[in-house]
């Protein structure tokens, strides 16, 4: 065994990861129906005004505003000369003392400059009694009010939210150019790890980490590619690391500790560069970050809780940067501990909790117990030097996405 050297703090690890990851530049065309959540690669510029005509914003009657003067005090009757629904054009012109029935979204007829809501009217023979005075522009959305021709309605680098997808759709685009989703290779290492569906032999465990990591990757704008299990063998690990260098990001779990079979760090060092190996945190001490052939490579602990916790803390920011997404919004709540927690003191500690009724209920068991995360909805960070948190202490809970 070769012991860890100087351990890297969490903040230094975050900095090193940020300094050595960059957004991918591949661009692809994406159908507008599949574009939500994608990062736009070029400005979407309006080729026409939206709306492309003056349109009614209410059901009612298109009128000349001056013909309704005084109607709020004494109703005015106008002659009804037609009716139009959305998508229909009135061929005539609204003249003095006339009106046209109109639906929401329909083009305002020539000659009219206002719409009186149907609630303020009453049919009177072949005419319409108007009971409220209209001002010019009342209930009319003018041409170009929403989007002006030549305007960049969504800009390169922005994420296509549902609202932005709608703005693009309003301009008639069926496709947009977006940055490709980064492809993230995921490997689980260890002779003891076996795939689901295969009977367990003594000493074996099922693969957990490739599935939890895939879920994290997919939730943060990237495409997970599960590359299977890798045996504790130098040549097998070297082949996997070389394969990983063809992806945008690679994540290995297991094999990054200091046991005689933990060969991963040596392989990465031989084929590329190790930026740090070993963190001053608990759980998650045996974490590695490096690069091979320009591909960022993460070596996560094999224990499931350590692996997933460090994925939230270290991997997520890198994934979002590579994908061109903004940093994940940090969601925190204050709560009081339901019971005391003894801490290590020498390392910063992540302690999973479940927030219930204003209390933070500790659920952490051991680094290898996945239910430490399955039953949690967040975690607290216990600073270096702290050895005890008392029941009732107020803590800051970092909520899982």
The CATH code of the domain that includes 60 is 2.170.190.11
User: What residue has token string 């149907």?
Assistant: 118
pLDDT computed for residue 394 by the predictor: 96
Distance of CA 57 to the CA centre of its chain: 33
Distance (Å) of CA 12 to CA 266, 268, 295, 344, 364: 22, 20, 20, 20, 25
Same domain, 257 and 167: no
CATH of the domain at 34: 3.90.105.10
Q: Which are the contacts of 210, defined by CB distance < 8 A and separation ≥ 6?
A: 186, 187, 188, 226, 253
> Tokens representing 14?
């975050």
- Please identify, among 116, 141, 166, the residue that sits at the C-terminal boundary of a domain: 141
Cα gap 84→101, rounded to integer Å = 6
CATH of the domain at 336: 2.40.340.10
Closest CA to 81 of 64, 67, 95: 95
Q: Is residue 14 part of a domain?
A: yes
CATH of the domain at 212: 3.40.980.10
Same domain, 271 and 213: yes
Distance of CA 90 to the CA centre of its chain: 45
The boundaries of the domain holding residue 353 are 332-399
Query: What pairing do the DSSP bridges indicate for beta strands 175-179 and 27-31?
Result: antiparallel
- Please identify, among 323, 356, 385, the residue that sits at the C-terminal boundary of a domain: 323
> Tokens representing 147?
């989007």
What value, to the nearest 5°, has the Cα angle with vertex 257 and ends 253 and 258?
A: 150
Same domain, 46 and 65: no
Inter-residue contact 351 to 335 (CB < 8 Å) = no
Write the DSSP symbol of residue 385: T
pLDDT computed for residue 4 by the predictor: 67
Query: What pairing do the DSSP bridges indicate for beta strands 388-389 and 341-342?
Result: antiparallel
Cα gap 116→202, rounded to integer Å = 80
pLDDT computed for residue 303 by the predictor: 87
Q: Could you give the number of structural domains in the chain?
A: 4
Q: Is residue 253 part of a domain?
A: yes
pLDDT computed for residue 369 by the predictor: 59
Inter-residue contact 10 to 313 (CB < 8 Å) = yes
Q: Is residue 2 part of a domain?
A: no
pLDDT computed for residue 74 by the predictor: 96
pLDDT computed for residue 261 by the predictor: 43
pLDDT computed for residue 255 by the predictor: 67
Same domain, 314 and 207: yes
Same domain, 88 and 192: no
Same domain, 278 and 191: yes
Q: Is residue 164 part of a domain?
A: yes
pLDDT computed for residue 368 by the predictor: 62
Cα gap 359→160, rounded to integer Å = 37
**Burial state string for 271-292 with b = 16 or more CB within 10 A and e = fewer than 16:** bbebbbbbbbbbbbbbbbbbbb
Same domain, 115 and 165: no
Inter-residue contact 61 to 100 (CB < 8 Å) = yes
pLDDT computed for residue 365 by the predictor: 73
Dihedral sign computed on CA atoms, order 89, 91, 93, 94: negative
**Region of residue 192 (phi > 0: left; psi between -120 and 50: alpha; otherwise: beta):** alpha
Same domain, 216 and 104: no
pLDDT computed for residue 400 by the predictor: 86
pLDDT per residue of the chain (401 residues) written in tens, 0 to 9: 456 678 999 999 999 999 999 999 999 999 999 999 999 999 999 999 999 999 999 999 999 999 999 999 999 999 999 998 888 899 999 999 999 999 999 999 999 999 999 999 999 988 999 999 999 999 999 999 999 999 999 999 999 999 999 999 999 999 999 999 999 999 999 889 999 899 999 998 999 999 999 999 999 999 999 999 999 889 999 999 999 999 999 999 986 555 544 689 999 999 999 999 999 999 889 999 999 999 999 999 988 888 988 999 999 999 999 999 999 998 999 999 999 999 888 999 998 999 999 999 998 876 665 666 778 889 999 999 999 999 999 999 999 87
pLDDT computed for residue 260 by the predictor: 41
């Amino acid at each position: 065994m070769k012991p860890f050297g100087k351990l890297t703090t969490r903040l230094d690890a975050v900095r090193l990861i940020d300094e050595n990851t960059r957004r991918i530049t591949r661009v692809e065309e994406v159908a507008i129906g599949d574009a939500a959540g994608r990062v736009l690669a070029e400005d979407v510029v309006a080729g026409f005004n939206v709306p492309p005509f003056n349109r009614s914003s209410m059901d009612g009657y298109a009128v000349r505003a001056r013909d309704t003067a005084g109607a709020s005090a004494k109703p005015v009757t106008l002659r009804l000369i037609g009716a139009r629904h959305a998508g229909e054009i009135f061929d005539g012109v609204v003249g003095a003392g006339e009106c046209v029935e109109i639906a929401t979204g329909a083009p305002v007829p020539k000659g009219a400059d206002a719409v009186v809501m149907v609630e303020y009217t009453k049919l009177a023979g072949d005419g319409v009694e108007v009971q409220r005075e209209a001002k010019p522009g009342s209930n009319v959305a003018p041409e170009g009010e929403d989007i002006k021709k030549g305007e960049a309605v969504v800009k390169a680098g922005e994420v296509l939210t549902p609202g932005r997808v709608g703005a693009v759709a309003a301009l008639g685009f069926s496709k947009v150019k977006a940055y490709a989703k980064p492809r993230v290779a995921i490997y689980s290492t260890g002779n003891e790890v076996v795939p689901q569906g295969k009977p367990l032999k003594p000493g074996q465990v099922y693969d957990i980490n490739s599935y939890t990591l895939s879920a994290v990757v997919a939730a943060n704008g990237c495409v997970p590619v599960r590359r299977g299990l890798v045996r504790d063998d130098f040549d097998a690990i070297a082949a996997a690391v070389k394969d990983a260098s063809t992806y945008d990001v690679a994540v290995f779990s297991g094999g990054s500790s200091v046991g005689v079979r933990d060969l991963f760090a040596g392989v990465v060092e031989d084929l590329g560069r190790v930026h740090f190996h070993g963190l001053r945190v608990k759980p998650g001490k045996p974490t590695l970050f490096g690069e091979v052939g320009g591909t960022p490579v993460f070596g996560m602990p094999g224990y499931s809780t350590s692996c997933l916790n460090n994925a939230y803390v270290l991997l997520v920011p890198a994934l979002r940067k590579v994908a061109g997404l903004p940093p994940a919004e940090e969601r925190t709540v204050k709560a009081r501990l339901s019971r005391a927690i003894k801490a290590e003191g020498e390392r910063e500690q992540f302690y999973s909790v479940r927030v219930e009724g204003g209390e933070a209920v500790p659920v952490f068991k051991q680094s290898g117990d996945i239910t430490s995360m399955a039953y949690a909805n967040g975690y607290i960070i216990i600073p270096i030097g702290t050895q005890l948190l008392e029941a009732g202490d107020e803590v800051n809970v970092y909520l899982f996405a």
